[in-house]
Structure 1
Amino acid sequence: MYVRAAAALASVTGSVVIGVLVLPTAAQAASWHDRPVVVAHRGASAYAPENTLEAVDEADDLGTTWVENDVQRTKDGALVIIHDTTLNRTTNVEELFPDRAPWNVRDFTAAEIAKLDAGSWKGAEFAGERVPTLHQYLKRVDRNHQKLLMEIKSPELYPGIEDQILSQLRKDGWLRYEHVKHRLVVQSFSADSMRTMHERRPQIKTGFLGTPAVADLPAYAKFVDQINPSHTTVSADYVSAVHALKGPHRKQLEVYTWTVNDAVTAQRVAGFGVDGIITNNPDVVSEAVDD
């Protein structure tokens, strides 16, 4: 529209139009602004073994900027990326260590976990994928110029893990201004863990996983920037109640909902006004919210 108008002006005035600034319509601008952020849950876990570097790369190949992961601690104090508090669902730990049931993450050393195959359960083409350390994971996300929604998994099992995570983030450059401001959110199902994280490093955005009662939201707004409920518990009214509050950084509280893997649900929660959608299928959800 703007190019045609400029051409018409040139033909009438005889002047030469050097450059034209093309601006979106108000409707286009609103649409782009309102599009929820799409977060690859445990990486693009529909297509690659969850929480592996392969899943990070798959999300990158799909054009997904944000990835989500889960952090736990080994017996000897290393930080590793795995969802379950046990190792047997996503690795071959029962084969290599048959006498170590129930195969808790916290009962194995980093060296032992490094031996496990974390890919074959997803398909033969992923054989040999490993459980990454937090250091390895941060390097890969950084290499891909991606952003990270980090979950502290079951922090009650790992006293002091918040300080350890902050130490590793600092070593890997993730506490620099650009990362903290634009590329990092830390979340947990534990309100105490998020309160601790906020007290230790107030600059970091934090999120609470769950659906607190509306009456309790002001208390959460003191130490989290996001309220992140399951898509089965979210509604337009709930999103509005969250958005009515400002978090510790004096910005409107956000809502990231999980785990949405189909187009219909993605469009439904986008209609509620959520700020982010966490999904195993980032390509499916991205296409749905674009439509």
Structure 2
Amino acid sequence: MYARAVAATTIALLGTAALLLPTPGAQAAREPGERLPVIAHRGASAYAPENTLAAVDEAARLGIGWVENDVQRTKDGELVVIHDDSLQRTTDVEEIYPGRAPWKVKDFTAAEIARLDAGSWFGPGYAGTRVPTLQQYVNRVDLHHQKLLLEIKNPQLYPDIERQTLKLLGNEGWLDRQHLTGRLIVQSFSAASIRTVHELKPGVKTGLLGAPSVAELPGYATFTDQINPSYRAVSRGYVSAVHVFTGAHGRPLEVVTWTVDDADTARRVAGYGVDGVITNRPDVVRDALGEW
């Protein structure tokens, strides 16, 4: 009751009640018989080098239907899948290009990045693994019939990356009805970036990373479908407060939390009513949740 009262007051104060009426008793429920989605963070990144095709393959081997990745852009305009804005942590860029510190993704061409070893840091069995392009990545996800939670990383560094990402997704068949209704979500820490995605392609499901205050939710709900906070910021009350609001596609806002890697935390956040769990250890979380 308290969460609903706060939400209603917030809407009135912001003057958006006519656009965003909370749904009484709304919960972002799954379809009957559908298990709580477990999403492999950067692929199954506890078991294979993060954001590589090998990590996608490992998630598929484990039977995990969702993978998450990070998208950035090279100097010559290629979209690549890598988390950091620097190549230093997850490749041998210091060895191959020693004089080009701080080794930012945006300062290297796609051909230069394609030379880098993105696996040896993780283990000798992955030597020679490459940084995939987004095109390679989505095709591998499609090959395994998986679903994709795509994060636009550091959009402030890459003007118009939203339009470019959507164009590539469209070219690769990821903006058809099948993908839009259950296989694709685009998220970012940047509300402006997610708003842009929604404006360009209103059919795309979107998520805002972070834990905004309840007072901010009415504005975000006009262009996003999920609020995706760290598990450290999640509580039963916060999840309930988010669920009160109707998101951009006419359903209650969802909460997908990250990065949960142990059984106890997985069961705790599931008990709060979250709508998905992002994890480096998707098999551990899936087994902990059982039929949740």
Q: 2: distance between equivalents of 1:118 and 1:71?
A: 15
Task: List aligned pairs for 1:1-291, cutoff 5 A.
Answer: 33=33, 35-290=35-290
Distance 1:249 1:32, change over 3 A: closer
Greater Rg, structure 1 or structure 2? 1
Moved over 3 A (4+): 30-35
Report if the CA contact (8 A) 1:39-1:282 is conserved.
yes
Deviation at 1:35, TM superposition (A): 4.0
Q: SS of the residue aligned with 1:186?
A: strand
Q: SS of the residue aligned with 2:216?
A: helix
Which TM-score applies when normalising by structure 2? Answer: 0.88
Unaligned runs of at least 5 residues, structure 2: 1-29
Q: 2: distance between equivalents of 1:36 and 1:220?
A: 24
Aligned CA-pair RMSD: 1.4
Q: SS of the residue aligned with 2:181?
A: helix
Matched length: 263
Q: SS of the residue aligned with 1:268?
A: helix
Q: 2: distance between equivalents of 1:167 and 1:203?
A: 14
Deviation at 1:34, TM superposition (A): 7.3
Q: 1: distance between equivalents of 2:72 and 2:85?
A: 8
Q: Which amino acid in the other structure matches residue 168 of structure 2?
A: Q
Q: Which amino acid in the other structure matches residue 289 of structure 2?
A: V
Q: 2: distance between equivalents of 1:242 and 1:200?
A: 25
Once the two structures are superposed, residues 131-158 of structure 1 have per-residue CA deviations (whole angstroms, 9 ceiling, x without a partner) of 0000000110000000000000000000
Q: SS of the residue aligned with 2:207?
A: strand
Distance 1:36 1:102, change over 3 A: same
Q: 2: distance between equivalents of 1:66 and 1:128?
A: 25
Deviation at 1:270, TM superposition (A): 0.4
Aligned sequence identity (%): 65
Unaligned runs of at least 5 residues, structure 1: 1-29
Report if the CA contact (8 A) 1:34-1:273 is conserved.
no
Distance 1:34 1:234, change over 3 A: farther
Q: Which amino acid in the other structure matches residue 39 of structure 1?
A: I
Deviation at 1:215, TM superposition (A): 1.1
Looking at both structures, which has the greater relative contact order when contacts are Cα pairs under 8 Å and sequence separation is at least 6?
Answer: 2
Which TM-score applies when normalising by structure 1? Answer: 0.88
Once the two structures are superposed, residues 182-235 of structure 1 have per-residue CA deviations (whole angstroms, 9 ceiling, x without a partner) of 100000000000000000000000000000001111111000000000000010
Q: Which amino acid in the other structure matches residue 148 of structure 1?
A: L
Q: 1: distance between equivalents of 2:212 and 2:33?
A: 26
Q: Which amino acid in the other structure matches residue 78 of structure 1?
A: E
Q: 2: distance between equivalents of 1:32 and 1:58?
A: 28
Report if the CA contact (8 A) 1:69-1:82 is conserved.
yes
Deviation at 1:36, TM superposition (A): 2.1
Distance 1:214 1:34, change over 3 A: farther
